[in-house]
Structure 1
Amino acid sequence: MRRSIATVSLSGTLRQKLEAVAAAGFDGVELFEPDFTHFPGMAGALGRMAADLGLTIDLFQPFRDFEAMPPGLFARSLDRAERKFDLMQAMGAPLMLCCSNTSPLSVDEPELAAEQLHALAERAARRGLRVGFEALAWGRHTARYGQAWDIVRRADHPALGLILDSFHTLSLRDDPAAIADIPGDKIFFLQMADAPLLSMDVLQWARHHRVFPGQGDFDVVGFYEQVLLAGYSGPLSLEIFNDMFRETPNRRTAVDAMRSLLYLESQVRQRLATRAAAARPDARAADVLQVRELAEPPAAPEFAGVAFIEFAADEATAPGLGMQLRQLGFRRAGRHRSKAASLYRQGDIAVIVNAEPASFARSRFELHGPSVCALGLRTPQPQAAQDRAVALRSQRHRSPLGPGEVEVPAIVSPGGNLMHFVDERLGPDGLFAADFVPDEDDDTAPDAGLRRVDHIALGLSLEQYDTWTLFTRAVLGLSLAESQELADPFGLVRSRAAADVARSLRLVLNASLSSRTLTARTVGRRGDGGVHHIAFASDDIFDSVARLRAQGVAFLPISPNYYDDLPTRFDIEPALLARMREAGVLFDRSADGDFLHIYTRAAADEGLFYEVVQRIDFYDGYGAANSAARMAAQAQAQT
């Protein structure tokens, strides 16, 4: 399997882009012509530089406004093409992308388009080059792959083939099923791009909002499946126009790009295996699996909840974190056998405060202050979970161990925090019994009725939002809900929830579109961001709130107007409404159940806050309807 990426997909100079692409393990690049135009060297030098990095230049693009033009313009375009062919030969690029015409001077005559493309292909063939014709979604007369294939078929030249781009097909909601009927050897190149579902002009959508496969909402898996069923055997490539990618460090983007392709391949492999096992009349699925080297990482892990949440601290800040946890009803349950770390427990929740001077947590503390530095996730197959993550380009991590301590497979998640995969067979206490000495004499903090971690919300920079979207979907195997935009008094916050099927692991990804929101300020304190707030589940939220208030926990005050408005939106019993008003508890309802929740005040120096929730029946959301009330109250509490 050859994997490629268009240079337009990354930030930096052309040399920097090629270095990042090579470091991420790609085989080749699509050279975007403006990147070469501004390159301080000749075409031959570029070709040698790419070769020195182990890369091939698979495609030169784009060649515009060529087919179905009046004779005078057609002749000039042939001259243009010859100059591009000169460059391609010098740099070693075998294929040129010719995109469908957008000029108002072009005519809607497929036969003329085919005739002129035949002539272009003939010129290319004389030099040992090929031409691929691509339908732009905004092409003046040719916008769909079926139209482009009809023109290529009419032209009937061995050096002319079809270039397919998932964005141009899926953005028009064109059915890719007929791709499987195109001869595979006439598909010269494949470009993949995903995108969020947006209602906007397709050109603006294409130029600013494409993302890597797995980061958007298109059925890119189904598209790629049809291309393979056609018998395509060329490179799998990415062409992404995205404003944020042009700002993001290119090495990070290149890793995301490779992860997206490996994930895409693995998903298509599963589909093809299912087709082959079903013994469908066409045997193409089995044939493809035999000839294509599609990525096959270990299966996505199953999860059984959050094993622990670890905070980074130091000797000065650890006592304050411990006091905060005691206020929340946690008892200190032990001290680590070989590190300066304390364990706090309540219900099935475990929180570790790590102040070890030489540990990973300390390095995170020095960067970001007291903050969550690691998560432990329970899974029945921890080693396979780590192996999958590494196969999908996450970095393996190994912590130093003392005598008798349990080795837990771990990786570095996007942004630099650790994610540990804890063996479910250890049970709720096995890991802590091995690694911690029980604190027999501790302490008198009363339990607050918090039973488990309901969800963990991350505050991310915009450039990390898509990275985490792909990470949660590809590496962790979580399903993602639709993206929402939440109203903060100082801007909008983009939010998307991710969860496993059993709902034992829930993550909420938040990124601010403004620099003034609480989310943005939290991210600003922590570089690319991190845990924004932690939600604990209670079986009786009113009892938990009463206990927590008695222990000095300060909750976020909610406007009385909120409670006056609730009966206009929901049919709520007056007694329940009165209890919510008195306790400061928020309410949401779906077709599947009700949701009660309340937030603590955010610590002024940390930005982190906590949420207590109670799910009734089968409510599956996060109270997004109350986000504006929460963010307004937080803004007012800080004034």
Structure 2
Amino acid sequence: MRRTIATVSLSGTLPEKLEAIAAARFDGIELFENDFVNYKGSASQVRAMASDLGLSIDLYQPFRDFEGMPDAQFRRSLERAERKFDLMQELDVSMVLCCSNTSPLTIDDPDLAAAQLHELAGRAAARNLRVGFEALAWGRATNLYGQAWEIVRRADHPHLGLILDSFHTLSLKDDPAGIAGIPGHKIFFLQMADAPLLSMDVLQWARHYRSFPGQGQFDMANFLEQVLLAGYTGPLSLEIFNDVFRETPNRRIAVDAMRSLLYLESQVRDRLEHPAPPDGKPDHAKYAEQRARVLQRIELYSPPPLPEIAGLSYIEFAADEASAAQFDTLLQQLGFRRAGRHRSKAVVLYRQGDINLIVNAQPNSFARSRFETHGLSVCALAVRTADPEGAVGRATAMQSKRYDGPIGPYEQRVPAVVSPGGSLVSFVSSALGPNGLYEADFVLDDESDAAGQGVGLQQIDHVALGLAVDQQDTWILFSRAVLGLEPGESLELADPFGLVRSRGVANADRSMRLVLNVSPGPGTRTARTVAAGGGVTVHHIALNCHDIFDTVARMRARGARFVPISGNYYDDLITRIDLDEHLVARMRDAGILFDRSQAGDYFHIYTESFNDGLFFEVVQRVNAYDGYGATNAPARMASQAQRGA
């Protein structure tokens, strides 16, 4: 499919927008009227600028408040249209978007609207132009695609067709299934926009909170599938009104935009290749044949498959020499042992249970050059997968950059990509088993020395990232399109100095979990940590165990220090949740927090921060608890604020 994007979706001046769009390899643009009106050059200069960048101008928009108007206003609108047509011919753009009327003068008369649009289409036809009619979700008389299609059908003009926008349909919870019954040649243009599910006025929702496909909560794949089943073969476009996007460097947003379309196409291709008919459609052969015809008619992007991730293999930290020594003390307090030294670099491996932590203090390494400025930070997350090269192929197909670091003799090559924000995601072959990579790259200590050294930590439960405001949507899309992680619900947590928005992403078997945290205000701990880390940073790592009371007692005996929790928390806890008083007393004595869902229980505790940055969380999941103890985050944040840590 041809891929286009509306200029309103990006920040910058019109030339800057076009350069970013071209760099992301789009085929064309929708030219938003304000971008042209505020540009200092002429229409012919814009046309030449787009052409030089290899971009077509596929749509000019919007033309407002036209159909269903009293005669005097209608005649004036025809004069407006003629001036727009003059401009379109100078721009060499053949289609204009006419959105449904929002004027209080609108007459709710489909026949009148059809007649007026027929005349507009006739004038467009005289210049070999086309008019696309779109139902705005807040249109005065026409706000559903079915209403817009009925008006277009009644108007019956070859130069008038329908423009569909996923936001306008899905925000109103309108069923897109009927789109498949519209003749494909009468759908002139398709705009895609996702969004989070919000309870607010649809106009404000539309103008401030749209997002790229894969970043929100709408069923974008089903919507596109219905349009393709109708026979549509035109451009696949993005029209995104989002305040954060318009404040973010446009090159990165343009890459996100292209990634979102490639991801969406791949989702729909998979649906068409492996159709699963819904209830009420028993004729599977006919259903499958209908979808096979779509694939014959139109080419949809087909990247390598998503990797099957089997958990985190290791976490790598970048550290200077002083921080590495201090961190060594903390890790030993948490029961980790120094399990080996790298064969050619100043890198140490720490192990406990199935947890592998690598501290990289090698001068001039990728880790040190990018992350040493603030002492210690996570520079790489390594995931286990059966096909590392396939995983990297998927990532690069989805617009991520591959990274190949230097390796020494007999060392394993671990393919990696650069994640949003600059850290690495590495892919370790599951075939290497628990020790294959480390036996190749490290001089390992005798495993018999490990007996009795641990404190009961078993695995990495989840990793929490602190993100700048403009990074959360990027990471949601990266997690979905590159790693195959699906997002859970979005939560708002109260920090003493503002709000933190938190959202988890995980694979199906929960062997890989990330928590994405963002704070709109500058005063929260999350915001300060993110600012210190350059926009994206791992701010805590959760490690699970089978008996948190025993594990914490053994850690304390080694000198580990934990965030103290107010006694008021435990007084309140027993009023909120039906718990045994003896259990609550044990939690109070140990400083352990508690959460309960219908599926199970969650015990957890936080260490004090390392150098006012990274900290660890020790967790115990009981039964099928699937959350992250978010209700207790305010207790932790308030304690850290009161201690200044």
Fold-level similarity (TM above 0.5)? yes
> What amino acid sits opposite 1:174 in the alignment?
D
Superposition map of 1:42-441 within 5 A:
42-275=42-275, 278-281=284-287, 283-439=289-445
Q: Could you tell me how far 1:338 is from its partner in structure 2? A: 1.6
Q: Could you tell me how far 1:22 is from its partner in structure 2? A: 0.5
Q: Could you tell me how far 1:326 is from its partner in structure 2? A: 1.5
Which position in structure 2 is the counterpart of 1:514? 521
SS at match of 1:139: coil
**Count, aligned residues:** 638
SS at match of 1:587: strand
Q: Could you tell me how far 1:489 is from its partner in structure 2? A: 1.1
Structure 2 gaps of 5+ residues are 278-283
Which position in structure 2 is the counterpart of 1:618? 624
Percent identity reads 67
Q: Which moved more, 1:301-310 or 1:130-139?
A: 301-310
Asked if the contact 1:3/1:26 (under 8 Å) is kept, the reply is yes
Q: TM-score, normalised by structure 1?
A: 0.98
Which position in structure 2 is the counterpart of 1:455? 462
Within 1, Cα distance between the matches of 2:450 and 2:371? 27
1:565 aligns with 2:587: no
**Residues 173-198 of structure 1 deviation map (CA, whole Å, 9 limit, x = unaligned):** 00000000000000000000000000
**Residues 353-394 of structure 1 deviation map (CA, whole Å, 9 limit, x = unaligned):** 111112110112244431000011011121111111111101
Which position in structure 2 is the counterpart of 1:468? 475
Within 1, Cα distance between the matches of 2:469 and 2:452? 40
Within 2, Cα distance between the matches of 1:91 and 1:182? 30
**Residues 164-221 of structure 1 deviation map (CA, whole Å, 9 limit, x = unaligned):** 0000000000000000000000000000000000000000000000000100011111
SS at match of 1:335: strand
Q: Could you tell me how far 1:606 is from its partner in structure 2? A: 4.2
Asked if the contact 2:543/2:619 (under 8 Å) is kept, the reply is yes
Which position in structure 2 is the counterpart of 1:505? 512
Within the candidate set 478, 482, 487, 1:480 is matched to: 487
Q: TM-score, normalised by structure 2?
A: 0.97
Asked if the contact 2:316/2:357 (under 8 Å) is kept, the reply is yes
Asked if the contact 2:594/2:603 (under 8 Å) is kept, the reply is yes
Within 2, Cα distance between the matches of 1:340 and 1:443? 22
Within 2, Cα distance between the matches of 1:525 and 1:281? 54
**Residues 134-186 of structure 1 deviation map (CA, whole Å, 9 limit, x = unaligned):** 00000000000000000101111111000000000000000000000000000
SS at match of 1:90: helix
SS at match of 1:316: helix
SS at match of 1:633: helix
Within 2, Cα distance between the matches of 1:426 and 1:255? 34
> What amino acid sits opposite 1:284 in the alignment?
Q
**Residues 85-122 of structure 1 deviation map (CA, whole Å, 9 limit, x = unaligned):** 11111111111000000001110111111111111111
Q: Could you tell me how far 1:315 is from its partner in structure 2? A: 2.6
Within 1, Cα distance between the matches of 2:360 and 2:372? 13
Which position in structure 1 is the counterpart of 2:533? 526
Q: Which moved more, 1:571-580 or 1:55-64?
A: 571-580
Within 1, Cα distance between the matches of 2:352 and 2:629? 24
Within 2, Cα distance between the matches of 1:64 and 1:532? 48
SS at match of 1:280: helix
Q: Could you tell me how far 1:479 is from its partner in structure 2? A: 1.5
Asked if the contact 2:275/2:287 (under 8 Å) is kept, the reply is no
Within 1, Cα distance between the matches of 2:65 and 2:138? 12
SS at match of 2:45: helix
Within 1, Cα distance between the matches of 2:416 and 2:69? 59
Asked if the contact 2:221/2:267 (under 8 Å) is kept, the reply is yes
Which position in structure 2 is the counterpart of 1:493? 500
SS at match of 1:275: coil
1:574 aligns with 2:565: no
Within 2, Cα distance between the matches of 1:509 and 1:80? 48
Within 1, Cα distance between the matches of 2:60 and 2:373? 43
Q: Could you tell me how far 1:282 is from its partner in structure 2? A: 7.0
Q: Could you tell me how far 1:633 is from its partner in structure 2? A: 1.3
Q: Could you tell me how far 1:281 is from its partner in structure 2? A: 4.4
**Residues 516-573 of structure 1 deviation map (CA, whole Å, 9 limit, x = unaligned):** 1110010010111211100000111111101111111110000111111112121212
> What amino acid sits opposite 1:632 in the alignment?
A
SS at match of 1:58: strand
Which position in structure 2 is the counterpart of 1:36? 36
> What amino acid sits opposite 2:579 in the alignment?
I
> What amino acid sits opposite 2:14 in the alignment?
L
> What amino acid sits opposite 1:295 in the alignment?
Y
Q: Which moved more, 1:322-331 or 1:433-442?
A: 433-442
Q: CA RMSD in A?
A: 1.5
Within 2, Cα distance between the matches of 1:128 and 1:338? 69
**Residues 236-270 of structure 1 deviation map (CA, whole Å, 9 limit, x = unaligned):** 00000000001111000001000100110011111
Distance 1:439 1:282, change over 3 A: closer
